[in-house]
Amino acid sequence: MKKNSEHYKELLAKTPAELTEELASLRKEQFNLRMQAALGQPTKSHLVRQARKNIARLKTAMTKKASAK
């Protein structure tokens, strides 16, 4: 598993289009995890928090790229 700083550096290296794609993917994953929890299906609860933090990391990288222009 990658450290957070390594993951963030990889995000900064991506293009805005790639970041948008990844954001959609992460949001879909977060939705699926929430649905599993709501339906009472056994799930790994730590993944919900991890998905939320990954989305925040990605949005931070997107904002940094936008302000750098």
Tokens for 41, please give them. Answer: 């299906």
Total residues found in the chain within this entry: 69
Contact 27, 58 (CB under 8 A): no
pLDDT for residue 42: 79
- Mark out the alpha helices in the chain (DSSP H runs): 4-13, 16-38, 46-68
pLDDT for residue 2: 65
Which CATH code for domain 4-68? 1.10.287.310
Q: Where are the domains of the chain?
A: 4-68
Contact 55, 33 (CB under 8 A): no
Q: List per-residue pLDDT tens for the chain, 69 residues long.
A: 567 778 778 888 888 899 999 999 999 999 999 999 899 887 788 999 999 999 999 999 999 988 877
